[in-house]
Structure 1
Amino acid sequence: MECNSPFSVLTKNYQQILALAFAVKEINGNPQLLPNVTLGFHIYDSYFNAKWTYHATMLLISSLERFVPNYECDSQNKLTAIIGALDSQISLYVATVLDIFKIPQLIYGSPPVMHDKIPGLPFYQMAPKEALQYAGILSLLLHFRWIWIGVIIMDNDDTGERFLQMVLPEFSRSGVCFAFIERSPKLTFASEIKEVLQQGAKIHDKIMEGKANVILVNGESYTTMFMRWLPYLSEQEHMANEAKGQVWIMTAQMELTSVVYQRTWDIDMFHGALSFTIHSNDPPGFHQFVESRNPSSTQGDGFIRDFWQHAFSCVFPSIVLGKVEGDICSGEEKLENLPGPFFEMRMTGHSYNVYNAVYTVAHALQALSLSRLKQRTGVHREGLWFQKKEFWQLHHFLRHISFNNSVGDRVSFDKDGELVAGFDVINWIFSSNQSLLRVKVGWMDPQAPPNQAFIINEDAITWHRWFNQVQPHSACSKTCYPGSRRQMKEGRPFCCYKCIPCPEGKISSQKDLNDCSECEDGNYPNKEHDVCIPKAVSFLSYEETLGISLACIAVSFSLITALVLGIFLKHHDTPLVKANNCNLTYTLLISLLLCFLCALLFIGQPWKVTCLLRQTVFGIIFSVAVSCVLAKTTTVVLAFLATKPGSKMRNWVGRRLATSIVLSCSLLQVGICTVWLATSPPFPGADKHSMAEEIILECKEGSAVMFYCVLSYMGFLAIVSFTVAFFSRKLPDSFNEAKFITFSMLVFCSVWFSFIPTYLSSKGKYMVAVEVFSILASSVGLLGCVFAPKCYIIVLRPELNNKEHLIRRRK
């Protein structure tokens, strides 16, 4: 029990003395452990001061009668090991002295910080690795998504700085930011109280001003005593009156302690706190042992009367001179009635460490004694005993110690002298009378699989009343929900950001993502940009209105073309049909019929065969049709020239010329298509990127150059035909065929010149629809302009279809 706090006695630490006495009593009463050997102990106060700590340590290694270090004149005074201390700096002072005598020290509090100038000191840590605790704290923060926290450390030695060096980089890499990092002063002497209070006021105001609802505190056993001052230290009255609650996260070194005059202070600020504690249990019989303690029935306890007076705020008349002021201690007060910050009936983590430390020394002595028995040395007629110079050998047995204590927990050290154990996550719950209930809500187990190393039970946690039992939120910025991403704010920590929607084509399916991701091929974002939806397969299908409409138009005009062909075949012996070169007419009509039908190749799902035939069949058939038009136009011109006296053009007029024009022009297009198919033919493919919500099944051209060569050659033939027809439009002809061809070529060229920009600006099935429409429109233009006037005369005005009329028209 620390007795010289600048404020008062810390009654909470009295349980650690009881744990020590209880463990020694159990061992001395156990015939299986150290038989015929009686353990004893001395307790010295460290006074939170290096000078008095060194003095107390020297007293431990001296004779009881005189202060002569390492002088043994009493066989009953055999210092075997030292258990202490609760604070890291005190442990370092003690270890510095004990290193000279090779006496082991078992530390039940926080370990000291070792520097390069400090040699390897002989101490054993009755607590697990600190790195394991920090990993558990990080897991807790990430589990609840507390990424904006405040940190308070003790500014007493290098322990706080070591904590920051270990925690800050790892926490930052995991996405945790720090709203503030404050250092609370060390509580030492009364002359420094003013400075302590000023620093406390600064810390309180920093907590109240910020948005951080989670405060991580790393300190010593008495740190909570200082924390209880914070609500009363604010320099700003409005902040002092605020009832804002926080989630306090305490490290394992801290205990909930209070001094006497804090008895009536509100402790609600710690309600719902989460504490990482070393795993502890109540040994059998400890509760009864504590209940039996009272000043009247306890012998040899030099602490109990002082503890009793401070714990119950009373005095014993026998030790007070003069008039007694205040309540009189009866000695029959009940320890279980004390508030939790003053004393707990259940064994705390630090007391459990003391208990295990005593048993660790006992088992090490047992192992050493058995070793000496085997060597037949060191055997006394009254039992086993040891020379003081032999206790350095105890280190070997301490390093390899391993046993189960009375509760069944395993106690052993790793290669670094640290206890092999885990941490419990404890939820502090307070009632109106300051009674403390510790509820285990999780644990950190280093020996469990990685995905099960940290376990937390959210439903078992009681939060501070300020949160109305809703899980607290602690972040610098609002949560960015799926469909948005975080954008950092300039000049602020990376946890401070604003949320912006995901750009087109990207999604975010989780909260607080730094960047949006693209959907895999075959998927596209929904309207909220938080889910990828499979794209629909799209092509110009017979099952949709556009596809069936174009197919019906193509079939209808192919039937009309067949009807026109039938009319011309039926009236093949009439002057009108004979005058228009029957073979060219039939070839043109057949090619137009095939042009209408080839449009059907563009409708339906693309397959390998249809992709090979689409553009090549279309290009060849249209070239034949345009070649026929060119041949008809050329024939008209040559026929007119041949009628002039002495013209040599008569030798060129005839079927041979027309056939030559059609074959030569068509075969050239066939050659282009053959090269195309041989080098880089069209093939079926899927375009997953042009349309956001569709996968377009289409025919890839293979070679775009060859595709445009086919179109360009067809356009060249059309332009030549249009030019020839245009210049011959005023030639005297019975049926003005040159004019009709001019109109047809004008329509044809207009359609295909407008096709190219329309085609390039369209996407998906609409590109195919544009090409089908161009095929049908140009074919209809040729059919209507060239053959409609002739069909009109043949069917509706047969009286004009005679030789006399032809001759009269020419004259």
Structure 2
Amino acid sequence: MHALIFAVEEINASPEILPNFTLGFQIFDTCITLRRAAQGTLSLLSGGEGITPNYHCHKRASLAGVVGDSGSTRSILMAHILGLYRYPQISYFSTSPILSERDLFPSFFRTIPSDEFQMRGLAQMVAHFCWSWVGILANDDDYGQFGLQVAKRELINGGACLAFTENILTGKPNRNAPHLAKVINNSTALVVVVITSNSDFFIVAEELLKQNVSGKIWVGSEAWSTSASLSVERFQALLVGTIGFAIHSGPFPKFTEYLNGLHPSKYPYDPYMMEFWETVFSCKWIQRENVNDTTYKLCTGNERLENFLIQEDHRSSLNIYAAVYAFALAIHNLIYCTPRSGPFQHNSCANITMFHPWHLLHYVKNVNFKAKDGSHIFFDAKGNPPAIYDIVNWQVNSKGTLEPVTVGSYNLNAPDGNILNIVSAKIIWFSNNTQVPVSKCNPSCRSGFRKVIVPGKPPCCYECARCPQGQISNQTDAVECDSCSWDTWPNLQQDRCLPRTTEFLSYEEPLGYILATISMFASLIPLTILGVFIKYKRTPIVQANNYYLSCLLLISLFFCFISSLSFIGYPQPAKCLLRQVAFGMVFSLCISCVLAKTITVVIAFSATKPGSRLRKWTGVKLSYCVIVFCILNQSCVCINWMILCPPFPEFDTDTQPGIIIINCNEGSPTAFWCMLGYLGLLASISFIVAFLARRLPDSFNEAKFITFSMLAFLSVWVSFIPAYLSARGMYTVAMEVFAILSSSWAVVICIFVPKCFIILFRPNMNSRTHLSIKTTHNI
């Protein structure tokens, strides 16, 4: 009230605003009721004495507009009435978003931002402190319910979840406080957003103390976040650490001086002044109380207001002050309108002696000035001022009482674009803690895990699940895990990607150099046997077994052992292209030589029978023809393979987690198995022919040894097939190398070792006589 009086007196004393004009005022107390608000509004419109709707019955100065009310519900009622006549109304404390609807309230303005801005800011502040599990208390009136809806929407959009939403029932004397205290105490939410007035929250706070509710962070709306009645010592343990939005405050020194000069003696007939004095100094005037009541001390009139008001921030007073100045400047602009350049019909101006409410409404819409505290005042299209709030934190001051300390601001028009500005170092939470408390439905998911939504629960009440194989999360509460690149793999904690290890059958691997050593050693055996055969080529046992064909077979076996080395080492493109072809061709040569020897043995024996027609096939030409024919078939398979779908190096990242298997992709599995199957076909034919000729005389008989060699050969490669298909990585290659070595050893041991044993250790058996005797005996 005195802020309005101070502003009017200051304007009337100013030579710059409304010179030669005097502003007056009339004050009505709504007593926080809709009935009195409607009564006062209609009384103003009717002339101030009695209520006569649609008539102004008393010849007094024109009504310019209305400042008020403080409550949103009462302002809505007043705005409905005043809007009918287009009387401008400027509220200093009504924050309901519905008042921004211009089609319902065309003449309503306010010097406090809409709750829509405040609730967005509160949601952003909750997100700033990473609080995701929040409860809301709100009045069941327009202020609380509109604030609740906006706050709920903004909190959910900001990623938070609501543990509970409860209404403070303003129609009940206890405000439903026992139920509210029980809900808050049982909830795991540490943060509670409270959208209410200081008088209503006072009753709830009393019940919270009774039920020993503590350890909560209260996020307050501007209606109570600077309340003097709540920041008393009794509520210190409950409300210390509270953080909330407050009406923007600025310097207002002249008003402080004005208040300090107030005294009941200057206003002997003002009951408000007497009540104010009693409230400030906790005393009673003798004429207002029973003299025999010793409960209160008596007011003397010698008390000093300077000691009490020196620290007041006058937040709401500044809003009232701005509202009065907005009206004054609008009237000033109306009076000093330039003729024939006015804003009304035919560029006319309004006459101050008989202007209509909508004339002044036009000028109120367009006011734009700087208030004494430095704030910029104007109204947007919805009647709202620039949205700026202070952020306050309730701390214990040096006197041991609670005090709201400004720790930041929320300014939608901040020049640097930093809308929410909070100095975290200034904030002190409950238990004198400077660390931001955590309010979550469950503990955070650490790195290497991701959040999994639980059906039937809020999104914030999630479970933590390990990232899938091959994926990582390097932050807490990750929604999704990120896949590593193809050449990297997660570490054990799955919080970062490491380079994958490469795997191939290298010479540095124990398995690799063991196989390479065996291959090198084994390749010397055929050469050694070849040397023995060359040295003893004139002996009967060497001559009897087709010397040249045996030499060719030994050379092919040498290359068979050597070909296994092409499978060891890094898979180069040329190596991948040729290794299977080389293996296929040398083994074709080897098996075709065995087949040729088998056929030669059978024909040689059969040709000794009288009248045999096979005598003409006993030369070496048949053997070479068999060899060439067999090799040509294999060559056709390999050439087509190389042309149509050649092998190539491949990086396999799927077979073994965390390992890049570098191998040779065969290009065409069909061609590979055809090549291998052809070798099996040759070996099978050799085995069958040798098996049928196993009972031939020993002097001519290699069939027995060929039978065993081909049986061993086929056994190795039949066993190779399932082993090859089931092995992974370098063991696939090792299986093929082992099969090559084993099958080559089978041929060497079964065919050549018995002959070398006779040549080297039983020379007496290496004679024509011995062979002739054995032949006769067998016949």
**What residue number does 2:179 align with?**
202
> Aligned match of 1:280 in 249, 261, 274?
249
- Give the CA deviation at 1:117: 12
1:328 aligns with 2:301: no
Does residue 628 (structure 1) correspond to residue 612 (structure 2)? The answer is no
CA distance in 2 between counterparts of 1:124 and 1:225 reads: 29
Letter in structure 2 aligned against 1:254: W
Which stretch has the larger CA shift, 122-131 or 82-91?
Answer: 122-131
Query: For 1:376 and 1:518, how far apart are their aligned partners in 2?
Result: 68
Shift of 1:95: 0.8
Matched, 1:96 2:73: no
Kindly indicate whether the alpha-carbon contact (under 8 Å) linking 1:284 and 1:407 is maintained by their aligned counterparts in 2.
no
Structure 2 CA distance for partners of 1:408 and 1:668, relative to 1, 3 Å: same
- What is the Cα deviation at residue 658 of structure 1? 1.4
Helix, strand or coil: the match of 2:564? Answer: helix
Aligned counterpart in structure 1 of residue 106 of structure 2, from 111, 121, 133: 121
Structure 1 unaligned segments of length 5 or more: list them: 1-16, 234-239, 379-383
Q: 2:681: which partner in 1?
A: 716
Q: How does 1:429-444 map to 2 (within 5 A)?
A: 429-431=395-397, 435-444=401-410
> Would you say the 8 A contact 2:489–2:498 is kept in 1?
yes
- 1:639 — aligned with what? 604
Q: What is the number of equivalent residue pairs in this alignment?
A: 768
Q: Which of 159, 173, 177 is equivalent to 2:161?
A: 177
Quick check: 1:397 aligned with 2:363? yes
With 53-62 and 200-209 compared, the bigger mean Cα shift is at: 53-62
Residue of structure 1 equivalent to 2:124: 139
Displacement after TM superposition at 1:297 (Å) = 5.6
Q: What runs of 5+ residues in structure 2 fail to find an aligned partner?
A: 345-349
Q: Identify if the C-alpha distance between structure 1 residues 607 and 655 changes in structure 2 by more than 3 Å, giving closer, same or farther.
A: same
Label 1:449 to 1:266 Cα distance change in 2 as closer, same or farther (>3 A).
closer
SS in structure 2 at match of 1:476: coil
Select between 477-486 and 305-314 the one with higher mean Cα deviation: 477-486
Query: In 2, Cα distance between the equivalents of 1:173 and 1:649?
Result: 97
Question: 1:230 — aligned with what?
Answer: 207
1:446 equivalent in alignment to 2:419:
no
Tell whether 2:220 aligns with 1:254.
no
Secondary structure of 1:419's partner?
coil
1:601 paired to 2:566: yes
SS of 2:337's partner is helix
Query: Cα offset for 1:63?
Result: 3.6
Contact 1:642 1:650 in 2 (8 A): yes
Instruction: Give the CA deviation at 1:633.
Output: 1.8
CA distance in structure 2 between the aligned counterparts of 1:376 and 1:484, rounded to whole angstroms:
69
Contact persistence 2:394–2:403 (CA under 8 A) = yes
Deviation at 1:481, TM superposition (A): 2.0
692-701 or 203-212, larger mean C-alpha shift: 692-701
**Secondary structure of 2:264's aligned partner:** coil
Question: Does the alignment pair 1:33 with 2:33?
Answer: no
Do 1:535 and 1:693's aligned partners in 2 also have CA atoms closer than 8 Å?
Answer: yes
Q: More deviation in 601-610 or 279-288? A: 279-288
Amino acid at match of 2:559: L
Q: Specify whether residues 377 and 568 from structure 1 end up closer, same or farther in structure 2 by C-alpha distance, changes over 3 A only.
A: closer
Return the match for 2:134 from 149, 152, 157: 149
| Distance change (3 Å), C-alpha of 1:732 and 1:461 | farther
Amino acid at match of 1:311: V
Post-superposition offset of 1:375: 5.5
AA partner of residue 407 (structure 2):
V
Paired residue type of 1:121 = P
- The CA deviation at 1:365 is 2.8
The 8 Å contact of residues 224 and 255 in structure 1, kept in 2 or not, is answered as no
Task: Report if aligned partners of 2:410, 2:421 keep a CA contact under 8 Å in 1.
Answer: yes
Q: Which of 618, 627, 631 is equivalent to 1:662?
A: 627
Query: In the alignment, is residue 313 of structure 1 matched against residue 282 of structure 2?
Result: yes
**Which residue number corresponds to residue 427 of structure 1?**
393
Q: Distance in 1 between matches of 2:7 and 2:380?
A: 23
Q: Which amino acid aligns with 2:529?
A: V
CA gap of 1:45–1:767, structure 2 versus 1, over 3 A, is: same
Change (3 A) 1:221 1:321: closer
The residue type paired with residue 199 of structure 2 is Y
Displacement of 1:169: 4.3
Q: 2:446 — aligned with what?
A: 481
- Indicate yes or no: 2:189 matched with 1:212: yes
Residue 589 of structure 1 corresponds to which residue in structure 2? 554
- 1:162 aligned residue (138, 146, 153): 146
Paired amino acid for 1:536: T
Structure 1 distance, partners of 2:324, 2:198, is 20
SS in 2 for 1:151: strand
Greater CA deviation, 411-420 or 727-736?
727-736
Q: Deviations over 1:279-305 (max 9, x none)?
A: 322234344344333434678966322
Aligned residue in 1 for 2:336: 370
Contact 1:268–1:430 at 8 Å: present in 2 too?
no
Superposition deviation, residue 521 in structure 1: 2.2
SS at 1:47 equivalent: coil
Alignment partners' CA distance in 1, 2:502 and 2:306: 75
Displacement after TM superposition at 1:92 (Å): 0.7
**Distance across 1 between alignment mates of 2:656 and 2:62:** 88
Would the alpha carbon gap of residues 441 and 631 (structure 1) be closer, same or farther in structure 2, given more than 3 Å must change?
A: farther
Q: Distance in 2 between matches of 1:346 and 1:258?
A: 10
For residues 743-786 of structure 1, the C-alpha deviation after alignment (integer angstroms, 9 at most, x for no partner) is 32222222222222222222222212222222222222222322
Task: Report if the CA contact (8 A) 1:744-1:781 is conserved.
Answer: yes
Aligned 8 A contact 2:102 2:382 in 1 = no
Q: Which structure 2 residues correspond to residues 4-153 of structure 1 after superposition, within 5 A?
A: 17-63=1-47, 71=56, 73=58, 77-112=61-96, 114=98, 119-153=104-138
SS in 2 for 1:423: strand
Could you report, residue by residue, the CA deviation over 1:34-72 in whole angstroms, capped at 9, with x for unpaired residues?
333333433321122222101112333344566567637
Aligned pair in 2 of structure 1 residues 447, 119: CA closer, same or farther (>3 Å)? closer
After superposition, the Cα gap between the structure-2 partners of 1:141 and 1:114, relative to the gap in structure 1 and judged at 3 Å, is: closer
By how many angstroms is 1:376 displaced?
Answer: 9.6
Q: Secondary structure at the match of 1:734?
A: helix
Q: Is this contact kept in 1: 2:97–2:115, CA < 8 A?
A: no
RMSD of the alignment, in Å?
3.2
CA-to-partner distance for each residue in 1:518-572, whole Å, 9 max, x for gaps?
4332232222233332212222222333323322222222233333333333433
SS at match of 1:266: helix
Secondary structure at the counterpart of residue 182 of structure 1: strand
Residues 625 and 439 (structure 1 numbering): CA distance in 2 closer, same or farther, change over 3 Å? farther
What are the Cα deviations for residues 90-133 of structure 1, in whole angstroms up to 9, with x where unaligned?
11111122113311111222344649997333111323343433
Q: Select which of 243, 250, 268 maps to 2:237.
A: 268
Q: Equivalent residue of 2:336, what SS?
A: helix
Which of 670, 681, 702 matches 2:646? Answer: 681
Q: Structure 2: which amino acid aligns with 1:315?
A: K
Cα pair distance change 1:88/1:501, threshold 3 Å? same
